Amino acid sequence: MHSICVVGTGYVGLVTGTCFAELGNHVACVDIDESKVKMLRSGKLPIYEPGLLELVQRNSAMGRLCFTTSYAEGMRDAEFVFIAVNTPASEGDGHADLRYVEAAAKSIGRHLDHDLVIINKSTVPIGTGDLVTRIVQEERKGDAQFAVVSNPEFLREGSAVVDCLNPDRVVLGATDRRAAEKVASLYLSLRCPIIMTDLATAEMIKYASNAMLAARISFINEMAEICEALGADVKQVALGMGYDKRIGSSFLEAGLGYGGSCFPKDVKALMHMADSAGCHPQLLQSVSDINADQRKRAVAKVQHLLGGLRGKVVGLLGLAFKPNTDDMREAASVDIASMLLAQGATVKAYDPVAESVARGLLHDVEYCHDAYAAAAESDALMVITDWNEFKQLDMQRIRGSMRTPILLDGRNMYDPAHMRELGFTYRGMGRN
């Protein structure tokens, strides 16, 4: 049993802290957001993440998990302090905004009164491990010792708890090998490969991994465009490719491109780092451009089918950037709804969990209580998020309720032939 402090109770910090508690450790989570801490103390979650609520409630009740806004309280007995604060893209050139990491490092430095290990879990530019070390050194008052270890996080929203407890690998970067070994001891019970390396390499592994995944998505989306032009079906192309062991089947789903709080910002931040170091990241630039184009292509298809969008009603199925989350950061829905509205369409939308977050971002959208209401009296229906509940919809009922039965399947969820049989004018992404 170890005593752990986690700074930041967002998707990563809350899941990490809760999972460490579930493994038997004593965990204190610190956040500057008082409303989040208040909610968590009363056994409620500020985010939607499957399976998390039960774990938070159980571990809180067992006295292994607590929440506070006070660093002094959170760090009191901590042997390990994890930094899991947000690192958003900055306006303009897209470099990672480190102000939250810097603030967290300052607070940790000021409250450092015993030896401990500081672990950076946030996705941060190469060199941030050294920056955190410098900040803590500057802020600390006494002679308590510390080491900084980089431990990037690879969990996926929507399956974060399962990912956290069953990681493919744990990456640890440090100059102090003993500190890295101490952190490794926290993960031993998970029985996964542990890669020990230097700080810069660990930080780079995270960016390179996300860039690779984003590149696969943009690759298959480029294939989708070519398939469409040449009369092939990208879904079957991906299936045929995926059986090749050298290729594999994951991250080969053509659609509206990647979104969320990681891939878009991490690809841009890596491009910025590469530029600053005198490199010319041509592939990353294309990955990012293709992704932006997918959203425009989807809207253009609907516009073409309707002969213009002014005065038309478009229904959106799903708003979250992917299923099983309420995260709307960089969601395709935000760009698509904005483009539709700018061209004079009325937009109706339904999402099973992201509506309240979406309301803060998309003000002119009419929010509906279910998929049928979003489709009713619309001139076109666009599938934006492939939520499971959309797979079993009564599509005959949907078609019957629409003004014109145009279905733009942005996630290739439905069988084109079946949809046409039902009377839809169907368009997928990369299949005719």
| Residue 164 touching ligand NAD (CB under 6 A) | no
Nearest C-alpha neighbor of 217 from the set 319, 322, 301: 322
User: Under DSSP, is residue 376 helix (H, G, I), strand (E, B) or coil?
Assistant: coil
Print the binding letters for residues 119-148 with ligand NAD: x by CB under 6 A, - otherwise: ---xx-------------------------
How many residues bind ligand NAD (CB under 6 A)? The answer is 27
Q: Does 214 bind ligand NAD (CB under 6 A)?
A: no
Report the candidate in 385, 374, 123 with the shortest Cα–Cα distance to residue 257: 385
103 within 8 A of 67, measured Cβ to Cβ: no
Q: Which of 26, 36, 111, 431 binds ligand NAD (CB under 6 A)?
A: 36
Residue type, 313: V
Report CA Rg, the chain.
Answer: 23
Stretch that binds ligand NAD, among 83-91, 134-142, 330-338, 418-426 (CB under 6 A): 83-91
164 included as an active-site residue: no
Site membership for ligand NAD, residue 100 (CB under 6 A): yes
* Residue number, nearest CB to ligand NAD: 10
Q: Does 324 bind ligand NAD (CB under 6 A)?
A: no
Could you say whether residue 379 binds ligand NAD (CB under 6 A)? no
Residue 60 vs 86, nearer CB to ligand NAD: 86
The residue type at 378: S
- In 198-333, the DSSP E strands lie at 313-317
Q: Which window, 10-18, 299-307, 381-389, 399-407, contacts ligand NAD (CB under 6 A)?
A: 10-18
Minimum distance, C-beta of residue 400 to ligand NAD, in the bound complex (Å):
39
Three-state secondary-structure class, residue 381: strand
Least distance from ligand NAD to the Cβ atom of residue 10, Å: 2
151 binds ligand NAD per the rule CB under 6 A: no
Instruction: Give the start-end residues of each E strand in 138-245.
Output: 146-150, 170-174, 194-197
Tokens for 176, please give them.
């102090």
| Binding of ligand NAD by 221 (CB under 6 A) | no
| Cα–Cα dist 69/40, whole Å | 11
Q: Binding residue for ligand NAD (CB under 6 A) from 22, 31, 355, 379?
A: 31
103 binds ligand NAD (CB under 6 A): yes
Contact, 349 vs 315, CB < 8 A? yes
Closer Cβ to ligand NAD, 124 or 371, answer by number:
124
Residue 50 CA to residue 68 CA, distance in Å, equals 23
Is 153 near ligand NAD (CB under 6 A)?
yes
Residue 161 Cβ vs ligand NAD, minimum distance, rounded to whole Å? 12
The catalytic residue among 19, 262, 279, 368 is 262
What order do you get walking across the sheet with 425-427 strand by strand? 366-367, 346-350, 313-317, 380-383, 406-409, 425-427
Cα–Cα nearest to 294, from 177, 384, 206: 384
| Residues of the shown chain interacting with ligand NAD in the complex, contacts defined by CB under 6 A | 7-13, 30-33, 36, 84-87, 100, 103-104, 107, 122-123, 153, 155, 157, 261-262
Active-site residues, by number, are 262
